[in-house]
């Protein structure tokens, strides 16, 4: 498929955000392939649009650094692209020229009107349906043929399409954080999404070398469909434990169980901190209307938000305080929800270990297992042992694994995911799990 006609003028809304900036970088790589790699004579413009002018200035620095890394990694190919430029002799010459050439295609703007010239509009603003609908309908009125690719992780595409009157010109294009590195892309077609747009979105994703998983247009899709319910389960389990153990220990134990005994890269509350308590709350709220029979909210989460215990990241990527406090990425303090203050991890660690009781003798760590050739052998042994132990920790872990599996199965049963493989792919690639939730371990 010839991508050029649609790629000549592209806009990214929310370009200075965490997701938007990554999407912008990926698009700049794609434009570079077309403009420099294929030596196109067309003019290409990539509009980076955001409400914050200072953030856009920072964004350009980020894009430049990413382009430099990309060029360094792909120097063998770039020398070929610039083979006819006699003045570019050293790798350094070629790399610098590439960065300049791509930067020259990027224009920053704080004005929504900039999108009126664009064939493609990528959107990565905050998770607020009304705002998305308002912007899209305004653009649609001024740019009737534009295609919209929204990075929403939870809002049904069909609802946006209908409310903004997009006439099928929208597809869900859900990247995972950080978009430049994360291979997973959930593509969500709504009932009206046009075939041409759908084909284009798949061709572009392939060119970006993404792992594509299609999701049905159901709020939360596959990724958040699992994550949000997993998080609610964890909050409920912690709440029960808190009755006897207090909140600090309850948070810490459930987090430890979901990381070490489920062999995941992060515990569930650390993941909530990473995503942000606020963002988690918004996602749940945006999913709730689609599931009137389920409670997709949690008092504890809402209360954390009200108390400004929010998590998320600073601009430099370091973690803000949330359920935990961190130092160099390691948990140092735990929030005691009951007392409204942080307690040192060291003060509760031993008690938690005693409470959890016996654990498998086979120690396996996500970091080493995830890339091991004999991964499945280790996991099978580990979980077999886990099932045989009757301790608080082991029982909580088994129940946690079973619940995660049930969520995954529900996503298949309700056809949100086309198959168990798709659910597992999303969790393994999007969330870096060592194994998918639909498995024989639980």
Partner 1 sequence: MKALRKKVYMVAGYNTVSMGTGRKEFHPKKPRPDLEHYIKEAGQATLKMIGGAENVDEGVIGNFMASRFNKQANLPAFLPMIDEGLKHKPAISVEGACASGGLALASGIKSILAETADVVLALGFEVQNTMKAMYGADVLAGAGWMKTRKDGHAYFFPGVFSNRAGAYYEKFGKEKTREAMAKWYCNAIENARLCETAQEFHNKSKDLEGTAKMPLNPKKFVDHLNYSDCSKVSDGASAIAIVSEEGLKNVGIDPKDAVEVVGIGQAASDITKEPENMTCLTTMKAAAAKAMEMAGITVDQIGTVEVHDCFSIAGIMGAEAIGFAEEGKGVDFVLEGHTSRCGKVPFNTTGGLIGWGHPTGATGVHQAVTIWEQLTGKAGDAQIEMKEDRPYGMTVNMGGDDKSLVAIVYKRGE
- Rounded Cα gap, residues 327 and 187, in angstroms: 36
Nearest approach, Cβ of residue 79 and partner 1 (Å): 5
Q: Which CB sits closer to partner 1, 11 or 97?
A: 97
25 binds partner 1 (CB under 8 A): no
Torsional class of 227: left (φ above 0), alpha (ψ -120 to 50), beta (otherwise): alpha
Taking the complex as a whole, the smallest distance from the CB of residue 76 to partner 1 amounts, in Å, to 5
Nearest in space to 172 (alpha carbons), one of 183, 163, 191: 191
- Is 2 a binding residue for partner 1 by CB under 8 A? The answer is no
Closest approach, Cβ 71 to partner 1, in A, equals 9
Tell which one of 52, 53, 58, 77 touches partner 1 (CB under 8 A): 77
Give, in order, the Cα–Cα distances in Å from 327 to each of 81, 116, 117, 319, 396: 44, 45, 46, 9, 28
CA–CA dist 388, 384 (Å, integer): 7
Collect all residues with Cβ–Cβ distance below 8 Å to 83 and sequence separation of at least 6: none
Query: Which of 86, 299, 306, 440: binder of partner 1 (CB under 8 A)?
Result: 86
| Of 433, 408, 396, nearest in space to 238 by CA | 396
Binding window for partner 1 (CB under 8 A); candidates: 85-93, 198-206, 288-296, 376-384: 85-93
Residue 14 contacts residue 50 (beta carbons within 8 Å): yes
Is 90 a binder of partner 1 (CB under 8 A)? yes
Q: Does 79 bind partner 1 (CB under 8 A)?
A: yes
Q: Please name the residues in contact with 176: beta carbons below 8 A apart, sequence gap of 6 or more.
A: 182, 184, 185, 223, 429, 430
Burial (CB count <10 Å: 0-12, 13-18, 19+), residue 253: buried
Give the nearest distance from C-beta 249 to partner 1 in angstroms: 37
The mark string for 91-110 relative to partner 1 (x by CB under 8 A, - otherwise) is: xx--x---------------
Of 42, 72, 372, 413, the residue at the interface with partner 1 (CB under 8 A) is 72
Quick one: DSSP state of residue 33? I
Stretch near partner 1 under the rule CB under 8 A, chosen from 69-77, 250-258, 309-317, 402-410? 69-77
Q: Whole-number minimum distance, CB 99 to partner 1, in Å?
A: 13
Q: Is 216 in the site for partner 1 (CB under 8 A)?
A: no
Would you say the C-alpha torsion 80, 82, 85, 90 has a positive or negative sign?
Answer: negative
Residue from 75, 285, 399, 418 touching partner 1 (CB under 8 A): that is 75
Q: Which residues sit at the interface with partner 1, rule CB under 8 A? A: 72, 75-79, 86, 88-92, 95
């Amino acid at each position: 498929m010839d991508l050029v006609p649609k790629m000549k003028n592209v806009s990214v809304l929310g370009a200075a955000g965490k997701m938007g900036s990554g999407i912008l970088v990926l698009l700049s790589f794609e434009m570079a392939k077309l403009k420099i790699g294929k030596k196109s004579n067309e003019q290409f413009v990539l509009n980076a649009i955001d409400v914050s002018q200072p953030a856009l200035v920072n964004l350009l620095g980020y894009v430049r650094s990413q382009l430099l890394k990309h060029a360094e990694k792909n120097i063998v190919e770039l020398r070929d692209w610039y083979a006819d430029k006699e003045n570019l002799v050293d790798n350094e010459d070629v790399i610098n020229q590439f960065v300049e050439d791509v930067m020259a295609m990027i224009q920053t703007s704080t004005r929504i009107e900039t999108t009126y010239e664009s064939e493609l509009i990528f959107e990565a603003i905050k998770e607020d349906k009304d705002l998305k609908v308002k912007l899209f309908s305004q653009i649609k009125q001024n740019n009737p043929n534009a295609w919209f690719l929204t990075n929403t992780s939870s809002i049904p595409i069909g609802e946006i399409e209908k409310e903004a009157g997009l006439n099928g010109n929208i597809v869900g294009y859900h990247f995972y954080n950080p978009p430049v590195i994360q291979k997973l892309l959930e593509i969500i077609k709504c009932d009206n999404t046009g075939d041409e747009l759908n084909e284009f979105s798949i061709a572009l994703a392939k060119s970006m070398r993404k792992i594509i998983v299609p999701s049905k247009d159901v709020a939360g899709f596959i990724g958040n469909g699992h994550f949000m319910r997993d998080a609610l389960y964890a909050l409920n389990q912690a709440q029960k434990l808190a009755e006897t153990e207090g909140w600090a220990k309850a948070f810490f134990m459930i987090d430890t169980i979901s990381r070490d005994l489920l062999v995941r890269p992060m515990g569930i509350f650390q993941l909530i901190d990473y995503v942000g308590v606020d963002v988690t709350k918004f996602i749940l709220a945006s999913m709730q209307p689609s599931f009137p029979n389920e409670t997709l909210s949690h008092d504890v989460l809402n209360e954390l938000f009200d108390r400004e215990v929010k998590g998320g990241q600073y601009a430099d990527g370091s973690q803000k305080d949330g359920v935990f406090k961190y130092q160099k990425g390691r948990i140092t303090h735990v929030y005691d929800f009951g007392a409204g203050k942080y307690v040192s991890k060291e003060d509760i660690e031993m008690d938690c270990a005693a409470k959890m009781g016996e654990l498998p003798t086979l120690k396996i760590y996500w970091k080493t297992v995830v890339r091991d050739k004999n991964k499945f052998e280790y996991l099978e042994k580990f979980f077999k042992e886990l099932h045989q132990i009757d301790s608080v920790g082991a029982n909580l872990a088994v129940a946690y694994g079973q619940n995660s599996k049930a969520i995954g199965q529900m996503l298949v049963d309700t056809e949100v995911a086309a198959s168990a493989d798709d659910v597992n792919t999303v969790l393994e690639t999007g969330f870096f799990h060592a194994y998918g939730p639909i498995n024989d371990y639980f």
